[in-house]
Structure 1
Amino acid sequence: MLSSSPSLFVVATPLGNLGDFSPRAREVLAGADIVLAEDTRRTANLLRSAGIEARLVSCHDHNEAQRIPEMLDAMRDGKKLALVSDAGTPLFSDPGYRLVRAAREAGLSVSAVPGPSAPLCALAASGIAPQPFTFLGFAPRKQSEQKTFFEAFAHAPTTLIFFERKNRLHATLKTAYDTLGPRELCVARELTKAHEEFILCRLEEYQNIPEDLLGEITVVVGPPEQEATLDAEAIQTIIADEMRLGGKPREVARRVADRAPGWSVKEIYEVMKDLRP
């Protein structure tokens, strides 16, 4: 039976393998008055496969804010709500955060029903150091935004996990390599499904990854490799070498970056400005 205290349950659902649909998740969804779903058609298929009937209400990026007042009123009236995403644990690059926060701020109880999670699944089976790790969500679409996105973690001693779409994977991995330098890499796709695959290689070998990958993709990038990261004195030496060869400052910085794993063009350019008389 459902607990009488929580008003909102955040429920993890299978990534693809229905065997991962936990008994508790089934119980909570079957007993909920309202199931908030990112894609009601997809969730309806899942619930139907489990023999569950429920009132489904859409909750996605474009309507979450508008749903909140109505859902808070329903919870105050004693209704039990369950929040799910299309697959896995909600709020990880999925809507729901604003609703959970609003419920907390309104003094309503929220409980999580743990279960499948694509970032954790990919990390657990990658063989890449799991502690600490940082989940980044989806990488930005524009290259300039991607560079800023990765630069923020260029020297952080953490494994990075992010989602990417197949048609942008190579371009994103190139930007990641140019920014982060040589690292371990795992590209995981179709997690828990029949065609599950883990491609293990190096970030600098991104071009060897097939471009026709199908399914949803989770990327795991290992932490910085300290022995491969040059210190400031070594960078200054390389800058001096490249400056003697001539070229515009940005061109010199790019050449230095090719010789300096772990250093971004932006960081090198800043060092160059400090060296100018």
Structure 2
Amino acid sequence: MSDPLDAAAPATNLLADVQGAQAGHLYVVATPIGNLGDLAPRALAVLRSVDRICAEDTRTSGQLLAHFGVAKPLTALHEHNESGIVGGLVEQLRAGRSLALVSDAGTPLISDPGFVLVRAAREAGVPVIAIPGPCAAVTALSIAGIATDAFRFAGFLPSKSSARRERLRELGASPDTVIVYESSHRIADCLDDLVAVLGPARRVCLARELTKRFEQSITLPAAELSAWLLADANRVRGEFVLVIEGAPPADAGRAEHERLLRVLLRELSPSKAAKVAAELSGGRKSELYALAMQLGGSEGVE
């Protein structure tokens, strides 16, 4: 018997029909991130056939649904009310009603509400079905020209520079590609922080207004990207995705040593911190001691 996931299996294993919603199912439906032509036929069929649609913002989703002639009851589901209404929604599902979950744009739960509902539905034994489609993070990654074999999506960075730099330091220590979202009023400061923390040579892809009329994407060393952004006031407008190249192996190792030493130096002297760090990481004690002193250690700490 052939494996249905085997690439060599007959094409008849693939469904060609567009199915509507089934009773008692929760559908997580991806919607366009800009171009309305990206709404999948199956997504439209599900939205037209469910009993109710849960939307992050009913006004935004209402406009999308109206464009496609979908008239269904809408329930607002966002970070401020999700925990309070999820019980009632699960009861509707258990009673046989079908629900669709959509966000303002893209795939729900990816830096958007819905996790509480999906988890509660699964715990209640309710079938949860993904209706795949656009996702800004994956879309940007696919065109960045930066390694895709291992990546980490980190959502939005902190709004304050100090916290943002600390987050970038943590994320940038990994050899994996990092994907983050950023707003138009913080993008310039974010790139400045990125240069300061990860260095001017770290390659970054900036993608803005993906799938929309004024879509742009460019991959440059961080310092050049910051200058490119500020060269045209129009480039600061819109919604942004940053795809950040992972740290080179040597840099990743140093960053991990720094992280370890910063924790140890809260309680230990540089020499003791270096000794413990060497045992934990396999690094050379002399190099770790020199790094501990650079980080501001004091031999008076015990």
TM-score (norm 2): 0.74
Which residue is 2:46 aligned to?
28
Tell me how far apart the structure 2 counterparts of residues 118 and 75 of structure 1 sit (CA, whole Å).
29
2:204 match: secondary structure: strand
After the TM superposition, which of the residue ranges 16-25 and 145-154 deviates more from structure 2? Answer: 145-154
Tell me how far apart the structure 1 counterparts of residues 151 and 24 of structure 2 sit (CA, whole Å).
30
The percent identity for this pair of structures is 40
Q: Aligned-residue CA RMSD in angstroms?
A: 2.3
Name the CA shift for 1:96/1:164 in 2 (closer, same or farther; >3 Å): same
Name the CA shift for 1:74/1:184 in 2 (closer, same or farther; >3 Å): same
Name the CA shift for 1:155/1:270 in 2 (closer, same or farther; >3 Å): farther
Q: List alignment gaps of at least 5 residues for structure 2.
A: 1-18, 258-289
Structure 1 position 149, deviation (Å): 1.3
Tell me which of 194, 200, 223 is aligned to 2:246.
Answer: 223
Structure 1 position 268, deviation (Å): 5.2
CA contact (8 A) 2:151 2:178 kept: yes
Name the CA shift for 1:202/1:74 in 2 (closer, same or farther; >3 Å): same
CA contact (8 A) 2:21 2:98 kept: no
With CA pairs under 8 Å and 6+ residues apart, which has the higher RCO, 1 or 2?
Answer: 1
Q: Which amino acid aligns with 2:244?
A: V
Q: List alignment gaps of at least 5 residues for structure 1.
A: 236-266
Which residue is 1:252 aligned to?
none
CA contact (8 A) 1:170 1:206 kept: no
Structure 1 position 2, deviation (Å): 3.1
Structure 1 position 154, deviation (Å): 2.9
- Figure out how many residues of one structure are paired with residues of the other and give that number: 243
The answer to whether structure 1 residue 145 and structure 2 residue 163 are counterparts is: yes
Which residue is 2:172 aligned to?
154
CA contact (8 A) 2:153 2:180 kept: yes
Structure 1 position 135, deviation (Å): 0.4
After the TM superposition, which of the residue ranges 267-276 and 129-138 deviates more from structure 2? Answer: 267-276
TM-score (norm 1): 0.81
Q: Which amino acid aligns with 1:202?
A: P
Tell me how far apart the structure 2 counterparts of residues 102 and 230 of structure 1 sit (CA, whole Å).
38
Q: Which amino acid aligns with 1:186?
A: C
CA contact (8 A) 1:183 1:225 kept: no
Structure 1 position 209, deviation (Å): 3.2
Name the CA shift for 1:89/1:155 in 2 (closer, same or farther; >3 Å): same
Which residue is 1:62 aligned to?
80
CA contact (8 A) 1:6 1:111 kept: no
Tell me which of 186, 190, 195 is aligned to 2:209.
Answer: 190
Structure 1 position 67, deviation (Å): 1.5
1:94-123 deviation line (CA, Å, top 9, x unaligned)? 000111011111121111100000000011
Which residue is 1:200 aligned to?
219
Structure 1 position 147, deviation (Å): 2.3
1:44 match: secondary structure: helix
The answer to whether structure 1 residue 174 and structure 2 residue 180 are counterparts is: no
Q: Which amino acid aligns with 1:161?
A: I
Q: Which amino acid aligns with 1:193?
A: K
CA contact (8 A) 2:175 2:249 kept: no
Tell me which of 111, 114, 121 is aligned to 1:96.
Answer: 114
Tell me how far apart the structure 1 counterparts of residues 170 and 119 of structure 2 sit (CA, whole Å).
26
Which residue is 1:214 aligned to?
237
Structure 1 position 29, deviation (Å): 0.5
Q: Which amino acid aligns with 1:74?
A: Q
Structure 1 stretches of 4+ with a deviation exceeding 4 A read 267-277
Tell me how far apart the structure 1 counterparts of residues 296 and 238 of structure 2 sit (CA, whole Å).
45
CA contact (8 A) 2:153 2:179 kept: yes
